[in-house]
């Protein structure tokens, strides 16, 4: 099969690869849509001959042992849990030690190959009244929803989201759809801040470049502070975020943060704040994210800001725009294979 891979590093080429096979607990998918994720930057820089793509929607090519027709448009999580350990039994698949074993676009070639396999029992057919490209964003929406849930966001809450990339934007959307009364965001570059202000689920977005940035946040902060604070950026210090939260609130680390961070225990003590890491999502989060998207299609279509053809030059241009230009006005960019 044809596979679009990183070759040379920080560039893309088409090469021939062996087509993977359905069988056992896996079904074979033919690529249609792939969404680009911030985590793909690392693969682009360091993994030669790797096919990225872990946020996808495609067609069933070979259902193997599963009762689903060839040609059905589907989406599926990339995860590969064992189904038997204490975490899987508790519905916390993200903690399973086998979770990462066979993950398209993460641990094995992903959806920039013409074909890839996923776990058959986690495939969700995309109904006719839902645009297929929405299937490709279920994964990042599930990541954000998982973070919102760990932040214990409940109806009536006012939430502060730090970081306005796609995961921050989907955290805002899923917090609002989970009943939050108001959602405020913090970004940096003016272009992205303006993009976020336009979303109906964002009550306002502030820029840390503004001198009176703290005052702007305090002006909208409920008495006592925000109910939850989601770090969707990877802050190097938690004191400022902690200062905006109310007693008992949780700060959630959403997405993969590898930067060293510091906090003053005093900023935590007097309000009994918690810090909670959020790893990926579980199967329930993925199903619920799918449902949220299905029921709010216009809202989520508004977060897909570009759809580009699956051509190495086009993908390269988009990667440079997203990861090297320093600032851009994209939320989710999708790569589309021809039918
Ligand atoms: Zn991702
Ligand atoms: Zn397990």
State the CATH number of the domain containing residue 102: 3.90.180.10
pLDDT at 59: 98
The number of the ligand nearest the C-alpha atom of 95 reads 2
pLDDT at residue 107, rounded to an integer? 95
What CATH number does residue 242 fall under? 3.40.50.720
The protein residues having their C-beta less than 5 angstroms from ligand 2 (an ion) are: 81-82, 85, 88, 96
Residue 116 domain flag:
yes
* One domain for residues 202 and 267: yes
Q: What does the pLDDT read at residue 328?
A: 78
List the one residue out of 303, 298, 299, 287 whose CA is nearest residue 142.
287
For residues 160 and 229, membership in a common domain is answered with yes
- How many separate domains does the chain show? 2
Whether 78 and 165 map to the same domain: the answer is no
Task: Give the distance (Å) from ligand 1 centre to CA of residue 78.
Answer: 10
pLDDT at 289: 98
Å from CA of 224 to ligand 1 middle = 34
Segments forming the whole domain that contains residue 26: 2-126+303-336
Give the ligand with the smallest distance to the CA of 82.
Answer: 2
**Considering the domain boundaries, does residue 132 fall inside one?**
no
pLDDT for position 39: 93
Quote the tokens at residue 257. Answer: 């943060």
Side-chain half-sphere of 75: how many Cα atoms within 13 Å?
32
pTM, entire model: 0.97
Distance CA 251, CA 245 (A): 8
> Cis link prior to 205 (omega < 30° from 0)?
no
Contact 249, 267 (CB under 8 A): no
Contact criterion met (CB below 8 Å) for 28 and 117:
yes
Q: What are the per-10-residue average pLDDT scores of the chain (339 residues)?
A: 97 98 97 96 97 98 98 97 96 93 96 98 98 98 98 97 96 98 95 94 97 96 97 92 97 87 89 96 98 98 97 98 85 96
Instruction: Let me know whether 79 and 194 are in one domain.
Output: no
Domain shared by 169 and 69, yes or no? no
Query: Looking at the structure, do residues 240 and 195 belong to the same domain, yes or no?
Result: yes
Place of tokens 């893309």: 12
Q: Which residue has the tokens 């070639």?
A: 109
Nearest alpha-carbon partner for 120 in 84, 86, 69: 69
How far apart are the C-alpha atoms of 140 and 175, rounded to whole Å?
A: 14
Q: Which ligand is nearest to the CA of 100?
A: 2
What's the helix, strand, coil split of the chain in %, to 5?
30, 25, 40
Looking at all shown ligands, the one closest to residue 85's CA atom is 2
Q: What is the DSSP letter of 136?
A: G
C-alpha 35 to ligand 1 mean position (Å): 8
Rg (the chain; Cα; Å): 20
Distance 255 CA to ligand 1 centre (A): 8
Looking at the fold, whether 107 and 156 belong to one and the same domain comes out as: no
CA atoms within 13 A on the CB side of 327: 9
Residues 154, 269, single domain; the answer is yes
What's the 53 CA to ligand 2 centre distance in angstroms?
23
Alpha carbon of 263 to ligand 2 centroid (Å): 33
Q: Of 278, 294, 323, which residue sits at a domain end?
A: 278
Ligand nearest to the CA of 106: 1
| pLDDT value, residue 255 | 82
Ligand at minimal distance from the CA of 93 is: 2
Last residue in a domain, options 243, 261, 278:
278
Q: Nearest ligand, CA of residue 282?
A: 2
Contact 278, 252 (CB under 8 A): yes
Q: What is the structure's pLDDT at 329?
A: 83
CA of residue 39 to ligand 1 center, whole Å: 6
| Nearest-angstrom CA–CA distance, 124 and 137 | 13
């Amino acid at each position: 099969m044809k596979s679009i891979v990183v070759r040379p590093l920080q560039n893309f080429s088409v090469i021939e690869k062996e087509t993977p096979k359905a069988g056992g607990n896996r079904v074979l998918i033919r690529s249609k849509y792939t969404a680009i994720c911030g985590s793909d930057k690392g693969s682009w820089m360091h993994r030669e001959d790797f096919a990225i793509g872990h946020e996808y929607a495609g067609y069933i090519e070979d259902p193997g042992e599963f009762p689903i027709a060839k040609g059905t448009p589907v989406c599926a999580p990339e995860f590969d849990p064992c189904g038997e350990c204490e975490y899987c039994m508790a519905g916390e698949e993200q903690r399973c030690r086998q979770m990462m074993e066979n993950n398209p676009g993460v641990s094995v070639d992903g959806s920039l190959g013409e074909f890839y396999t996923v776990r058959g029992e986690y495939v969700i057919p995309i109904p006719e009244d839902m645009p297929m490209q929405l299937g490709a964003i279920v994964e990042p929406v599930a990541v954000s929803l998982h973070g919102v849930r760990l932040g214990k966001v409940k109806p009536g809450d006012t939430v502060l989201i730090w970081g306005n990339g796609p995961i921050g934007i989907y955290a805002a959307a899923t917090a609002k759809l989970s009943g939050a009364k108001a959602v405020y965001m913090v970004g940096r570059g003016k272009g992205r801040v303006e993009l976020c202000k336009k979303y109906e689920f964002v009550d306002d977005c502030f820029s840390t470049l503004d001198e009176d940035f703290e005052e702007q946040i305090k002006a909208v902060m409920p008495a006592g502070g925000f109910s939850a604070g989601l770090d969707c950026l990877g802050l190097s210090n938690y004191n400022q975020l902690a200062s905006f939260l109310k007693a008992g609130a949780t700060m959630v680390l959403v997405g993969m943060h590898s930067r060293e961070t510091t906090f003053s225990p005093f900023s935590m003590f007097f309000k009994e704040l918690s810090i909670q890491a959020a790893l990926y999502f579980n199967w329930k989060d993925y199903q619920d994210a799918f449902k949220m998207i299905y029921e709010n299609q216009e809202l989520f279509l508004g977060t897909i800001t570009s759809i580009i053809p699956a051509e190495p030059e086009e993908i390269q241009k988009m990667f440079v725009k997203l990861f090297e230009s320093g600032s851009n006005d994209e939320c989710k960019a999708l790569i589309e294979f021809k039918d």
